[in-house]
Amino acid sequence: MSARPAFARSVPHPGQPDPVRIVTLEGEAMRLEFTLEAGLSLRDAMSIPLAKAGLDGGTVRFENLRIAPLHFLMPALAVDDQHAAFYSDPHAMEEGAVIEYACATYGRKDGEPFVHCHAVWRGRDGQRQGGHLMMDKTIVAEAAPARAWGVHDATMATRYDPETNFTLFHPTRLNEATSAPSGKRVVLARIRPDEDLTMAVEQACRSHGIADAIVRGSVGSIIGADFEDGRVLEDRATEILIRSGEVEDGRARLEIGLINPEGKVCEGVLARGRNPVLICFELVVEEQ
């Protein structure tokens, strides 16, 4: 019997690879605890308090949030050769959804606040599902706490990326005259395709002389998954969010939630060196 061929861990993209595979910048760490107010879209429930606090770019986490309605997309295979993967048609859940946990990148698009969020939730029937939230259409049903980490005078700004043919977040200075951080730092990073996620987190920290950090966010996509416990998920298009992550003495450990094209959820610790990014990964780490 012939051996089963190894699952392909590389996906071609329509454009030429950018030579800079990991883009980073640092700023003085900002933290904020705030309330997601009922009746607002998730976009506004995040962006209004963050803008008021002067946090220009970073990540937001929240749990146990009741939503009505919930609008979302799931990862999908591309239907042509213009993208390596794409999104499903929009889906909606009018009531009864509770988001178990979510992570969002907070930045700007055309100068206005913009949020990219992946989440895992349960519907009224108790079924667990996940996906990419449509932030302007998804409404907070009951107020709930949230936490943010980020920086002032820098953001994650959208920019067209010719390599992937998507408009993606990119770490961007808002004021080049910003003074050097005097305390703990937050690093904003964007990781390009085919970079192993765990090792890229390590490299992002290393490039700023950081040996110990907590991964506060964020979200992106990888090509299936190889988990530390030996499980292998063979899906080309999968979206992920980091549930918890840390870097100790320069070595990273990432526990993720993963969503496949059917919206099914898989969780675990990623195997180091075997999980390349699919489209991009938006990373926020806080120095310890």
pLDDT in tens, 128-176: 999 999 999 999 999 999 999 999 999 999 999 999 999 999 999 998 7
Asked whether residue 132 falls in the same domain as residue 190, the answer is: no
Give just the sign of the alpha carbon dihedral 112, 43, 79, 12: positive
In this structure, the answer to whether residues 199 and 106 fall within a common structural domain is no
Which pLDDT score, from 0 to 100, does residue 9 have? 78
Residue type (1 letter), 278: L
H or E segment to which residue 92 belongs: strand 91-93
Q: Which domain holds residue 209?
A: 185-287
pTM to 2 decimals?
0.94
Q: Is residue 158 part of a domain?
A: no
State phi, psi for 3 to the nearest 5 degrees: -70, 145
Query: Is 40 among the domain residues?
Result: yes
Q: How many CB atoms lie within 10 A of CB 110?
A: 7
Residues 145 and 189 in one domain: no
Tokens for 99?
Answer: 């988001």
CB atoms within 10 A of CB 273: 11
Report pLDDT digits (tens) over 155-167.
999 999 999 999 9
Strands (E), 110-204: 112-122, 128-133, 144-151, 154-161, 166-173, 185-191
Residue 208 to residues 29, 215, 285: CA-CA distances in angstroms?
Answer: 14, 15, 11
Backbone conformation region of residue 110, classed left if phi is above 0, alpha if psi is from -120 to 50, else beta: left
Give 10-residue mean pLDDT values along the chain (288 residues): 60 94 96 98 98 97 97 92 93 93 97 96 92 97 98 96 97 82 91 97 98 95 95 91 97 97 94 96 98
Render the burial of 201-240: b for 16+ CB within 10 Å, e for the rest. Answer: bbbbbeebebeebebbbbbbbbbbbbbeeeeebebbbbbb
Q: Are residues 67 and 141 in the same domain?
A: yes
The pLDDT score that the predictor gives to residue 5 is 53
**Residue after which a domain boundary falls, among 101, 124, 149:** 149
- Asked if residue 1 is part of any domain, the answer here is no
pLDDT at 90: 95
Residue 247 inside a domain? The answer is yes
**Residue spans of alpha helices (H) in 38-109:** 42-53
If one counts the domains in the chain, the total is: 2
Query: Is 6 part of any domain?
Result: no
Same domain, 139 and 52: yes
Residue 166 placed within a domain? no
| Domain-embedded: residue 168 | no
Provide the token pair at 170.
């990119």
DSSP label at 227? B
**Of 129, 149, 169, which marks where a domain is finished?**
149
Residues 133 and 209 placed together within one structural domain of the fold: no
Cα–Cα distance for residue pair 49/274, rounded to 1 Å: 38
**Pick from 123, 149, 175: which residue ends a domain?**
149
* Residue at 260 is within a domain: yes
Do 217 and 142 fall into the same domain? no
Nearest CA-CA partner of 59 in 133, 112, 117, 99? 117
Please answer whether residues 215 and 254 qualify as being in contact, where contact means their C-beta atoms are separated by less than 8 angstroms.
yes
Instruction: Return the bridge partners of 146, or none.
Output: 34, 62
List the CATH number of the domain containing 105: 3.30.1330.80
pLDDT of residue 3: 52
